[in-house]
Amino acid sequence: MRGSSTTIDIVVPVRDEERVLSASIRRLHAFLRDRFPYSARVTIAENGSSDRTWELAQSLAGDLAAPGGCQVRAIHLAAAGRGGALKAAWLDNDAEVLAYMDVDLSTGLNALEPLVAPLLSGHSDLAIGTRLARGARVSRGLKREVVSRGYNMILRVALQAGFSDAQCGFKAIRSDRARQLLPLVEDTGWFFDTELLALAQWAGLRIHEVPVDWTDDPDSRVDILRTAVGDLRGIVRVRSGRGKGIKVAA
């Protein structure tokens, strides 16, 4: 994807999301078109779907392709995995700032401008939404709250993480920093976020945090146990190779 003047590209990774895809993308598109102060594009990164998600993604890209406005594109990846989808979509991109959010739009869209503004100004290199900082307003079940806080506590101990919420599906990174860090990120699943943030921290990059309003999706199909086991394995792997190969220019 080259030759455009897009300031922000927002990637929405999706797999088997035919139920919510159209409504969510149309809502996001309308927000970016009517209320967002920067030129923006939405990239639907479909990965490994077995339903009509890819068909719907292509249709949305065609329907929401008005010249001069917020563009929507769709890319297809055969392999499932949120991390792999983000990596592919971010590397094939010409936008100044690369962001992503979950398709259920659990994070309030009003947090998008505060997320990307510090990256555009040069104040920070990465920005993350956080549900665990003062000022955040979160609506989710006790089980997910305990798991989230426990996971981030483990990160503080095992990886000396200075960031408060590794797995919130609402992040952004300057494109030059993405090109430096993404080749070093090995995980293609849910641990992608944590690995990216750990590498960024060890490289001395500046991570900005934005408290967000968050409403958990009651129909979420994330397997918490399987994800937790994968994350713990990822922590062990990243910890064992801490700092290896990180070369980031000023």
| Residues with active-site annotation | 193
Helices 21-35 and 53-63, packing angle to 10 deg: 30
Closest CA to 100 of 23, 180, 12, 30: 12
CA distances from 18 to 87, 210, 220 (A): 22, 30, 14
- Strand, helix or coil for residue 126: strand
Q: How far apart are CA 128 and CA 114, in angstroms?
A: 10
Question: Residue 126 pairs with which residues in a beta bridge?
Answer: 173, 207
The Cα–Cα gap between 72 and 26 comes to 10
Q: How far apart are CA 82 and CA 243, in angstroms?
A: 24
Of the candidates 210, 81, 209, 223, the one whose C-alpha atom is nearest the C-alpha of residue 143 is 223
